[in-house]
Chains A and B, each alone.
Chain A
Amino acid sequence: MKRRFELVVTLRPGLLDPQGKAIESALPAMGWTNVSDVRVGKHIVLTVDADTEDDARKQVEDMSRRLLSNPVIEDVRILAAHEVSG
């Protein structure tokens, strides 16, 4: 069974996010003076072929830790998973 996973990778809280900071400092110039705590992350989608949802999820967690993120600086969240045909 194939399942489509959606993940988001973000810098860990407390670590300086220079891209988030740059956006945060640009927003007031456009009138949004009410925005704070901007963080920029990466959105990753991938399809996993595995027998059970549990197995697929375990594999995604493993690849998240070993390749998709650097646990020293980043957190990964699995946003969604759904079955796909074919």
Chain B
Amino acid sequence: MREHPRVGVVTFPGSLDDRDALRAVGAMGGVGVPLWHAERELRDVDAVILPGGFSYGDYLRCGAIARFAPIMEEVVRFAAAGRPVVGICNGFQILCEAGMLPGALIRNRSLRFICRVVDVRVETSLTPLTEGLTAGDVLQIPVKHGEGQFIASGEDLARIEGDGLVAFRYCAPDGTIDDAHNVNGAANAIAGVRSDAGNVVGLMPHPEHAVDPDVGPTGGQPLIASLLSRALARV
């Protein structure tokens, strides 16, 4: 077993947060491995992060083009083998477009781009980001998106809730779920979901921007720490 897990971060044309994700992995004791969208090489990583940004200019729909990038075939295979895959913001949109996560992300209810720190409640410890956490834990993490409103058909939403696929919800600082704290109008205040198998997880908030106490809240630390320990476990 490795001492320091290797976490791959895919750079698509238009990715913005790949550098921050690599830096966060390094700051938390892992080894960040840059991956390139046009290649088919995962460089022996233990986990994959699809970072935020505006891959392919968000043309057509957010994430719609990126899902066809050559490296995504490898990411799909990697996920099918039960290995941890995390999509943050645009990465979440890509995973939904690829059908690796349920639902979709549409324009914020306010129709405005939102950039601020929000409170996020952990809903399950059955994801690579939350294994070290308990359902009900509240974390402060920034969001910055224009199209982050999670949505699904009534039938899909019932299944997502019924099967416990909700990973994170927007909440008040005390963990209460109410409309006032549902920053983008997401269905059931959903901020992130996981796959049926649980090894793929996507979220709109940015844990990679919340690991350094010098620049803001540190709600991302326990999430990245969980990812690193899960990556090492090679489940």
Contact = CB atoms under 8 A, between A and B. Distances in A.
Contacts of B234: none
A14 interface: yes
A30 interface: no
Interface in A53-86: 67-68, 70, 72-73
Contacts of A14: 153-154
B18 interface: no
A27 to B, nearest CB: 15
A18 B153 contact: no
A38 interface: no
Contacts of A19: 107, 111
B218 to A, nearest CB: 32
Given A70-B104, A73-B151, A18 B61 contact: no
B108 interface: yes
Interface residues of B, number: 21
A33 B108 CA distance: 25
A16 interface: yes
A43 interface: no
A45 interface: no
A59 B185 CA distance: 36
Contacts of A73: 104, 106, 151
Contacts of B102: 72
B11 interface: no
Contacts of A68: 60
Nearest to A72: B104
A16 B61 contact: no
B103 A18 contact: no
Most buried by B among A19, A22, A68, A72: A72
Interface in A18-40: 18-19, 22
Given A18-B149, A72-B103, 19 more contacts: A11-B106, A12-B153, A14-B153, A15-B106, A15-B153, A16-B109, A16-B151, A16-B185, A18-B106, A18-B109, A18-B185, A19-B111, A70-B64, A72-B102, A72-B104, A72-B152, A72-B156, A73-B104, A73-B151
